[in-house]
Amino acid sequence: MSAQSTPSTQSTHDAALAPLAAELGDRLLTPAAAAFADTATVFVGGPPRTPAAIARVRTAAEIATALAVAQDAGLPVAVRAGGHHQARHALVDGGLVLDLRLMDGVELDAASGVGRAQGGVLAGAYTEAAGERGLATGFGDTGSVGVAGITLGGGIGYLSRRLGLTVDNLLGAEVVLADGRVVRADADENPDLFWALRGGGGNFGVVTRLDLRLHEVATVTGGMMMWRPTTDALVTILRTLADGPDEISGMVNVMLAPPAPMVPEELRGKPVLMALLCHPGAGADETFAPLRALDPLLDGVTELPYAGLFGGGGPQPGGIGDLRTGFLGTGTWSPDEAWATAAIEAVSASPGPAAINIRPMGGAIARVDADATAFAHRDPAFMVAVGGNAPSLEGLPVAQEWTASAAAALGIEGRGYVNFMGTATQDDVRAAYPGPTLTRLREVKRAYDPTNVFAATHNIRP
C-alpha cells in the first residue's frame, strides 16, 4: 500500500466512496478486494501506484456518479482503458480510477463507413471485428492498447502514411464532463472540444464512445524482417521507408533481440535491426525489394489479414522502464550514417533490454494542417522513441540514465509524442504541444474542466 493510501486514510476513502459502492456493488474494488492487484496493474512504467479504489463502470451515468463522489471526497481521478501509457496515467495514488474495460462494445456500419467503439474497447478487438468485413481503422501496432487512449494522443501506426493518424479518422465522441454532463463532440457540436480531443489526451473528460472512419483494408503485405546491425543497413531501411509510397508504414527497432521463438538463439540479447512493416496496396514486392537485398536474417513479410499484424499481445504488464520520444527531420529527410551509427552504438552499450523505435511520418500525416487538430507535429520525417527497461525498481535509475543519454545522442529532444512519454512534467506538456497549440488547449480546458479534475494525464492546466 502506498504512502498516500495508509490503513487510516483508506478507511476514510472507503467511507467517502460509500455512495458509489452502493451503486456499483462488487464492481467498486478497494485494495482489500481479491481482484484489486490484477486490476491495478498496468504496463511498463515507473514506481507502482495504489489507488484508493477502482470503479469498473459500465455506463455514462455510472461515470457521472463516480466523478461526483470523487470530487465531493476530494479524491484525484484517473481513467483506464488499455492501461498502456508509459507515464502510468491509468492509475493515481490514493485516488479513484475509472476502469472502462467493461464498456467494450463495437458497432460497425459498413454502409456509412463508421465504426463505433465504447471507451474500453481494445485496438485488437476492434480490428478483428472490422477485419471480418474487410474494413479497418488505423491505430498503432499493438492489440492490447485501448482505442480511446491511442486516439486521444494521436495514433501513429501501420496505416498512418496512407490513411492518416487515428485522430484524423475520429468523426465524433461522447464525453462525460467533470460536472457529469454527457456531451457530443464533433465538427458541428462542441467543435472546440472535438479539436482538443484529437491529440490533447484525457484532459477534458471521460470518452465513452468514439465514432471512427472505416476504410476498405482486407489483406496487406506485412510482417517482421530482421537484419544484423550495420550502419549501411539501417540507413537503407530508413531511406526506403521515407522515400517509399504512402502505402508503406511501420517501424524500425534498433534493439537487443528478445528471447522469442522466431529469433535464433545465437542472436538473443544481441543488437539487431528489426522492422514491422505494412503495405496495404499493390506493388508491395517492389517496395520491399531494397530491404530484401540487405540479406535479412529473418523475413516474415507475407500477405495476411490486416488484423494479423496485431497478434502477440504486446508488452506484458508490470514491468519497469523509461521512455523518451521526439521527432526528426522534415519531408523525405532520413538519418545519415553518423546518426545510424549513434543509434546502434547506444543500444550496444545499453545496460539492459533496450530499443530505439523509429516510425516514418509523411504521407497522409503531413497533408493535415498543423492547427487542424491538437496533434500538431505534422512536418517531421520520423518519430523516434528511446526505451530502456530495468529488472526491478532499484535498477530504474540506470535505465533512465541510459534513455537520457541515448535521446541526447540522437538529437530527439525538444518535441515529443504524448503517447510515448515516460514522464509527465510541464516540460513534457510543452514538448508535446507547441506554443499556439498549448494556448488553445488551455482555453478549451478552462471551458470544459475549469477545476482541473482530469489532471492525471500530461496535464494541460486551465
Q: Which of 40, 70, 99 is the last residue of a domain?
A: 99
Measured between alpha carbons, how far is residue 71 from residues 16, 95, 179 in Å? 10, 10, 9
Task: State the DSSP string of 320-388.
Answer: EEEEEEEEE-STT----HHHHHHHHHHHHT-SSSEEEEEEE--GGGTTS-TTSSS----S-SEEEEEEE
- Rounded to 5 degrees, what angle do the CA atoms 46, 226, 242 make? 85
Average the pLDDT over 202-231 and give the result.
Answer: 96
pLDDT-wise least confident of 297-306, 358-367, 384-393: 384-393
Are 204 and 318 found together in one domain?
no
Are 311 and 366 found together in one domain?
yes
Q: Establish if 388 belongs to a structural domain.
A: yes
Q: Establish if 279 belongs to a structural domain.
A: yes
Q: Which of 37, 68, 99 is the last residue of a domain?
A: 99
Burial class (CB in 10 A: 0-12, 13-18, 19+), 421: buried
Are 28 and 78 found together in one domain?
yes
Are 141 and 195 found together in one domain?
yes
Are 180 and 150 found together in one domain?
yes
Does the pLDDT of residue 254 top 80, yes or no?
yes
Are 78 and 140 found together in one domain?
no
Q: Establish if 432 belongs to a structural domain.
A: no
Q: Establish if 266 belongs to a structural domain.
A: yes
Tracing cell 537487443 back to the chain, one arrives at 256
Does the pLDDT of residue 340 top 70, yes or no?
yes
Can you give the length of the chain in residues?
A: 462
8 Å CB contact between 70 and 63: no
Q: What percent of the chain has pLDDT over 90?
A: 72
Are 380 and 233 found together in one domain?
yes
Q: In angstroms, rounded to a whole number, what is the distance separating the alpha carbons of residues 212 and 165?
A: 11
Does the pLDDT of residue 1 top 60, yes or no?
no
- Rounded to 5 degrees, what angle do the CA atoms 449, 176, 70 make? 70
Instruction: Give residue 345's pLDDT.
Output: 96
Q: Pairing between strand 96-99 and 77-80? A: parallel
Condensed to tens digits (0 to 9), the pLDDT of residues 131-148 reads 999 999 999 988 889 999
Which of 138-142, 229-233, 335-339, 423-427 is the most confident on average? 229-233
pLDDT-wise least confident of 195-204, 216-225, 277-286, 388-397: 388-397
Are 180 and 268 found together in one domain?
no
Q: Which three cell numbers stand for residue 234?
A: 539501417
Q: What is the number of domains present in the chain?
A: 3
Q: Which three cell numbers stand for residue 358?
A: 523509429
Would you put residue 344 in left (φ > 0), alpha (ψ -120 to 50) or beta? Answer: alpha
Q: In angstroms, rounded to a whole number, what is the distance separating the alpha carbons of residues 309 and 425?
A: 33
The count of C-alpha atoms lying within 13 angstroms of the C-alpha of 396, restricted to the half-sphere facing its C-beta, is 14
Q: Which three cell numbers stand for residue 105?
A: 462494445
- 227: domain CATH number is 3.40.462.20
First to last CA, the chain: 32
Condensed to tens digits (0 to 9), the pLDDT of residues 162-188 reads 999 999 999 999 999 999 999 999 999
Instruction: Give residue 455's pLDDT.
Output: 94
Does the pLDDT of residue 10 top 70, yes or no?
no
Q: Establish if 460 belongs to a structural domain.
A: no
Are 125 and 55 found together in one domain?
no
Are 91 and 137 found together in one domain?
no
Q: Which domain holds residue 180?
A: 106-216+438-446
Instruction: Give residue 314's pLDDT.
Output: 44
pLDDT bucket at 313, cuts 50 / 70 / 90? very low
Nearest Cα to Cα of residue 187 among 373, 375, 404: 373
Are 278 and 315 found together in one domain?
yes
Are 289 and 259 found together in one domain?
yes
Q: Establish if 289 belongs to a structural domain.
A: yes
Task: Please tell me which residue, 153 or 263, carries the higher pLDDT value.
Answer: 153
Q: Establish if 150 belongs to a structural domain.
A: yes
**Which helix or strand (DSSP H or E) is residue 130 part of?**
helix 123-131
Q: Which of 68, 84, 99 is the last residue of a domain?
A: 99
- 66: domain CATH number is 3.30.43.10
Which of 82-86, 91-95, 173-177, 396-400 is the most confident on average? 173-177
Quote the mean pLDDT of the chain. Answer: 90
170 in helix, strand or coil?
strand
Q: Establish if 143 belongs to a structural domain.
A: yes
Q: In angstroms, rounded to a whole number, what is the distance separating the alpha carbons of residues 241 and 28?
A: 47
Whole-angstrom Cα Rg for the chain: 22
Average the pLDDT over 202-226 and give the result.
Answer: 96
- 172: domain CATH number is 3.30.465.10
8 Å CB contact between 378 and 366: yes
Nearest Cα to Cα of residue 375 among 110, 86, 148, 155: 155
Average the pLDDT over 116-144 and give the result.
Answer: 95
